[in-house]
Chain A
Amino acid sequence: MSIDTEAELKPSAQRREPMGTKQSRGRSIVDGLVRSILPVLLALIVAGFIMLAMGSSPLAFFQGVWTYGLSGGNWQRSLVLMAPLVIIAVGLIVAFRGQLWNLGYNGQYLLGAVVASGVGPSLFAVMPAWLATLIIFVGAILVGAVWSLIPAILKARYGTNEIITSLVMSFIGVGIANLLIKGPFKDPSTPQPQTAVIPDDQLLPYIPGTQIHVGFIIAIVLAIVAQFVLTRTSFGLRMDVFGASPKAARHVGINSTWMVILLFALSSGLIAFAGSIDVLGQYSYQRANWDPHYGDAIMPFVFLARLSPLAAIPLVAFYAILATGGTLAAQQAGLNVDFLLVIVGLILLFMTITEYVGERRRLGQSYLPAGLRRTLVRPFQRDGRGSL
């Protein structure tokens, strides 16, 4: 009898355990999905009501997004837009994981773009395209990295809040990019303030059989590499430790000054790289006063992806479709493109609300790692003095 029960218990206990973990893992994935998708859905619904209130048709808008963002060959245009967006997302993730608020992305992106559009035409004229492309990419990354030094050093040395400094630097960066396009990089053959057009055959090649430039593949590979580095290497671990608690980081021998400078340089360099890849892949020139504000739009999705580069890809794809289709769709619905900003803002709001409700019910995990979340709630208490 007793042997019998034991024999009976053992396999069932063995069976129950893996099943239990599988169930909870499945559930946490479902929870994660719900928490990522729910804010987007709620935002779209509320945006629909706002459109109704403004006398436009939400149906026409969403139909337009589908038509111009996906159907026909339009999905290819969405994928082209994804290339810079995914790279910017990775750049933001690098900074946010280290608990650094790099909000200077607009300036960083435009400075990277201006390296490609300004130096590009003369480089392509004198050397093979692959070499010029390489030089431009490296140049853009370096410019981005150097540009981030002021906020990074101020943060590392005096604890000056990087939200403010990076934002202010962003406005200066946008101004410098405009000055360069109107001044030294201006195409003399046209009265418009814009750079010379890089010939089509010098631009990044298309993926065979499509109209999508290889920058898309570069972006996806970059996201995969970043995912690996962040989750599977000691550097990623050090970053997370630093992000969770700079004090703890100091105890395990991480130099926080260098960490701040390095993460800022990486983040800013990647975002500048996105700018250069966008010019060499898609635009082929740059107009003055052009600023797509990609980073503003990507920020919520980076959080919804819980700072994971791989998880960011589908979310960025969603936004790329929304933005690609939304431009024409908004016109069709009698709106302006700026309405997309409202949708993105609503996603951010619903994200925090979903987070709040989820926390109450203890559903699944937060959209941020525990350490970053804690400091989000008390963001300026790093050294206890509350210096901003």
Chain B
Amino acid sequence: MLSATFITVFVASVIAQTMPLLLASVGETIGEQAGVLNLGIEGVMLIGAYSGFVVTLTTGSFWLGMLGGALGGIVGNLAMLVLNVWLGLNQIVIGLAVTLIGEGITSVLYLQNYAKANASLGQSPSLPIPGLADIPVIGQAVFQQSGIFWVMLLLVIAVGFLLAKTNWGLATRAAGQKPSSLDAAGGSVLRTRSIAVLLSGAFVGLGGAYLSVLTTATFTGFLTNGLGFIAIVITMLSRGRIALVMITSLIYGVAVAIGPALQVIGFAIPADVIKMLPFIVVILTLIVFARSSVVPPALGAPYIRGAR
């Protein structure tokens, strides 16, 4: 039952499910650390997924597709940038609006342009890591991933390093913790938050693109199916630490991958239970760790100079 092929498929599936969420959660973390709660992440992910899908389909390049996803995510986050960061309007309402518009427009565009062709992108070329790729079981599952996987992983780790160890990271966290102190130290809250929101959009878009380009290799309306909201929860539980984001995303990936895996070895679990499983894991985590979910104090508050 627990044959080598089974484990290989399971581990590969865990990776495929974890990465979109990990990228989106990292994006959300950057935004939240700077004090911007983006409830529109679901819509931005879909925009990234759609643009990634379209670019990959038209150019045939998975790398350009990922780039397209990142750009799509940045465009999706522009509404948050202008309306919230610059004008100080309510984040929750804008976030919901972005989610609705993202869901609607990608679904309509897909149905209009690509639904009939029912295009699949196929598998992206894998990049075996010399030496490691030959390890039985794990080598096949982990070290023969697409090169995109490794670049994304590096980007995530880079964000973790930048947030924790650099001036940019300090300024970003200050913009979320106590914007006035950043202002007093000569930094610009608006500029810091603007950069954070755009970078956040890029990562959320990458998450969406990873989902459509690599995980499912196609796009359909509402592809993310609540993944964006899970990313918000992961962000909240991880308290801005990228290492924790990686661990919690991995737990989610296992929760999603375990359903089909159990079906393979003979436990018939209804598809609805499999779909619910990650959300049940999330709510149980929230119940258990209810006290320890902490977010930056200035989260959700637009910064108005001189106002108290």
Contacts and interface: CB of A to CB of B under 8 A. Distances in A.
Interface of A: 50, 54, 101, 150, 154, 157-158, 160-161, 163-165, 167-169, 171-172, 175-176, 178-179, 182-183, 296, 299-300, 303, 334-336, 338-346, 348-349, 351-353, 355-356, 376-381, 385-388
16 contacts: A54-B112, A158-B291, A163-B39, A172-B283, A175-B272, A175-B273, A175-B279, A338-B104, A339-B104, A352-B97, A356-B89, A377-B302, A380-B37, A386-B294, A386-B297, A388-B294
Nearest to A330: B108
The B interface, classified by DSSP as helix, strand, loop or mixed, is: helix
Main secondary structure of the interface of A (DSSP, over half): helix
Given A179-B272, A182-B272, A342 B282 contact: no
B113 to A, nearest CB: 9
Contact of B112 (A171, A303, A334, A348): A334
Contact of B83 (A164, A300, A353): A353
B286 A345 contact: no
A358 B295 CA distance: 31
Contact of A338 (B88, B98, B107, B282): B107
A218 to B, nearest CB: 28
Interface stretch (B62-70, B122-130, B143-151, B228-236): B228-236
A172 B295 CA distance: 25
A298 to B, nearest CB: 12
Interface of B: 37, 39, 43, 79, 83, 87-94, 96-101, 103-105, 107-109, 111-112, 221, 226, 229-230, 232-233, 236, 270, 272-273, 275-276, 279-280, 282-283, 286-287, 290-291, 293-302
A300 B101 CA distance: 13
A386 B239 CA distance: 12
A340 B273 CA distance: 30
Contacts of B97: 300, 345-346, 348-349, 352
B79 A342 contact: no
Given A165-B286, A171-B229, 13 more contacts: A54-B112, A154-B290, A169-B279, A303-B93, A338-B103, A339-B104, A342-B105, A345-B104, A352-B89, A379-B91, A380-B300, A381-B301, A386-B298
B124 to A, nearest CB: 29
A377 B272 contact: no
A380 to B, nearest CB: 5
Nearest to A360: B87
Given A341-B100, A345-B97, A386-B299, A377 B221 contact: no
Contact of A386 (B89, B96, B295): B295
A13 to B, nearest CB: 40
Contact of A387 (B109, B282, B295): B295
Nearest to A51: B108
Nearest to B90: A376
Contacts of B293: 160, 387-388
A165 B283 contact: yes
A335 B280 contact: no
Contact of A336 (B108, B236, B280, B282): B108
Greatest chain B CB density within 10 A among A54, A171, A335, A376 is at A171
Contacts of A157: 290
Contacts of A341: 100-101, 103-104, 107
Contacts of A385: 297
Most buried by A among B91, B96, B280, B296: B96
A339 B111 CA distance: 11
Contacts of A351: 93
